[in-house]
Amino acid sequence: MHQDAEYWNPEFELLDREAIETLQLQRLKETLERCDRSPFYKEWFQKAGFDPASIASLADIARLPLMDKATLRNTDPTSFLTVGMEDIVRMHSSSGTSGQATVIFHTAGDINTWSNMVARCIYMAGVRRSDVFQNMMGYGLFTGGLGLHYAAERIGAMVIPAGSGNSKRQIQLMMEFNTTVIHIIPSYALYLLEVFKEMGVDPRRDTHLRIAVLGAEPHTEGLRSRVQEAYGLEAFNCYGLSEMSGPGVAFECPEKKGLHVWEDYYLLEVVDPVTMQTVEEGEEGELVFTSLCREGMPLLRYRTRDLASTYAGDCACGRSHRRISRIKGRSDDMFIVKGVNIFPMQVEKILLAALGIGSNYRIILDTIESKDEMRVLVEVSGEMWHGEVNELNRLKAGIAEELRREILISPVIELVEPGSLSQTEGKAVRVTDKRNQARRD
Ligand code: ADP
Ligand code: ZN
């Protein structure tokens, strides 16, 4: 039924602003009503002196306190449930990037809603039933694998549930079964290019790849271009978090001017992370979400720590759902060197713009003679590594200069052999901070 249509859910994707907000208010009221049945929320509302029946407008949500990973970590997850445990059909957890992983429970309805939402995302990117969808994300507690798996099946594509890692096998699968779409962690997509080279396979020439869904970690426009160019495909940015079900909360449309947040499923607030006040349209802030359709374990005003800004105005694709920018990183990703605040993505932006750079980099922070030291280890391309020393020196000087301009300090740059930095199968670890360790010793 959907195959020739331009939109997966036109009845929701094309709603005008007023209709979206009316729907949001209705769903918010229903969510709050449900929450009132959960032991956690009963107490949460009482403590805040909040009457869930008193909500008259979307802005009223600001009368509720914010919650974050600590709220989830300090609470028995079953106490959030608004249904009986017998109605829960699945649990997932976060990846544990910033500490203890948090748990989310889903009803059959929740899984259905989430699958539809992700189907909407990849349909928007152009995935159709004739596609072969190689899902190269971890299956299991991590939401990346199963989240996209069900969505691609719902569209009717053939899914290859390849999971993460096993790089050579991944490439063999792509070749043998004519994979057209990959779902892959961006840092791993870069790494895989080295394995393609090793196997003597050119992804542009020797595969049928046409779409990549890149998600689960921050990445720059430069990284996206690199992947598009090397693989000969179109890459789409997919944002999500386990606390809001998983991938697909926001996704790029073909206009590539931001990621549409599905506002029929989520209420988005963008707040100043210090004052907690809503920021102006276009200003950077922390994303805060309230789930509007989750039955089992709704979360209200959840602080993501993810920093982004919204775009003003309508999108040429016809969808009225608000758009957010690429995520700059989590507020906890920021590190301070010699009094300067730095995000890993600022470094990535410079590195990936330089010609001759390989597929991986690492930032090492240390204390040398009681002073901060920042080192940037960068893999260079095979040609560069085996080429002229002068070229290597020129590359190093160029990166040093550009980095100084971007982050205002001069880190030590070390160009290293391709493949020499360790590669994770999951989210990349970009920064190793040895400074606290040194202080403790
Ligand atoms: P954890 O929070 O432990 O990493 P999750 O697996 O739930 O566990 O990951 C969600 C987080 O991953 C988001 O809050 C965000 O920081 C990051 N993330 C997911 N998708 C993207 C993306 N497309 N761009 C930037 N960051 C992303
Ligand atoms: Zn759009």
pLDDT band at 192 (very low <50, low <70, confident <90, very high): very high
Q: Report yes or no: 265 and 292 within 8 Å, Cβ to Cβ.
A: yes
Give residue 259 CA to ligand 2 midpoint distance, Å.
7
Q: In the structure encoding, which two tokens stand for residue 124, read together?
A: 């928007």
Which ligand is nearest to the Cα of residue 322, counting in written order? Answer: 2
Give residue 233 CA to ligand 1 midpoint distance, Å.
23
Q: Which residues pair with 362 in a beta bridge?
A: 377
Long-range contact pairs involving 26-32 (C-beta distance under 8 Å, separation at least 24)? 27/264, 27/292, 27/293, 28/55, 28/58, 28/61, 28/267, 28/290, 28/292, 29/55, 31/290, 31/291, 31/292, 31/293, 31/294, 31/298, 31/300, 32/300
Check pLDDT > 50 for residue 69: yes
Ligand 1 residue neighbourhood (C-beta within 6 Å):
94-98, 142-143, 215-218, 237-242, 304, 306, 327, 330
436 vs 100, higher pLDDT: 100
Q: What's the confidence (pLDDT) of residue 342?
A: 97
| Beta carbons within 8 Å of 37's beta carbon, 6+ residues apart | 82
pLDDT band at 54 (very low <50, low <70, confident <90, very high): very high
Q: What's the confidence (pLDDT) of residue 3?
A: 56
Nearest atom in ligand 1 to the alpha carbon of residue 237 is 23
Q: Please state, for a pLDDT cut of 90, what percent of the chain lies above it.
A: 95
Domains of the chain, each with CATH number or no CATH: 1-331 (3.40.50.12780), 335-440 (3.30.300.30)
Q: What's the confidence (pLDDT) of residue 425?
A: 85
Check pLDDT > 70 for residue 272: yes
Q: Where are the alpha helices (DSSP H) in 125-212?
A: 143-155, 167-176, 186-198, 203-206
Instruction: Please tell me whether residue 195 adopts helix, strand or coil conformation.
Output: helix
Strand intervals (E) in 39-192: 88-93, 103-107, 132-135, 158-160, 181-184
Q: What's the confidence (pLDDT) of residue 75?
A: 96
Q: What's the confidence (pLDDT) of residue 441?
A: 41
Ligand 1 binding pocket mutation candidate from 287, 302, 325, 327 (most atoms within 8 A of CB): 327
Which ligand is nearest to the Cα of residue 305, counting in written order? Answer: 1
Dihedral sign (CA 119, 121, 126, 132): negative
Check pLDDT > 50 for residue 162: yes
- Exposure of 398 by Cβ count < 10 A (0-12 exposed, 13-18 middle, 19+ buried)? middle
Q: What are φ and ψ of residue 432, in 5° steps?
A: -115, 115
For residue range 234-250, list pLDDT tens digits in order.
999 999 999 999 999 99
Q: What's the confidence (pLDDT) of residue 179?
A: 98
Nearest atom in ligand 1 to the alpha carbon of residue 218 is 25
What pTM does this model have?
0.96
Residues 320-331, mean pLDDT to the nearest whole number:
96
Residues 168-173, mean pLDDT to the nearest whole number:
98
pLDDT band at 439 (very low <50, low <70, confident <90, very high): very low
Nearest atom in ligand 1 to the alpha carbon of residue 99 is 3
Nearest atom in ligand 1 to the alpha carbon of residue 330 is 16
Q: Pairing mode, if any, of strands 211-215 and 234-241?
A: parallel
Q: What's the confidence (pLDDT) of residue 2?
A: 53
Check pLDDT > 50 for residue 430: yes
Which ligand is nearest to the Cα of residue 124, counting in written order? Answer: 2
For residue range 84-108, list pLDDT tens digits in order.
999 999 999 999 988 899 999 999 9
Q: In the structure encoding, which two tokens stand for residue 242, read together?
A: 């386990």
Residues 309-313, mean pLDDT to the nearest whole number:
92
Instruction: Please tell me whether residue 395 adopts helix, strand or coil conformation.
Output: helix
Ligand 1 binding pocket mutation candidate from 69, 104, 217, 299 (most atoms within 8 A of CB): 217
Nearest atom in ligand 1 to the alpha carbon of residue 214 is 23
Residues 40-57, mean pLDDT to the nearest whole number:
96
Check pLDDT > 90 for residue 436: no
CA pair distance 289, 355, nearest whole angstrom: 39
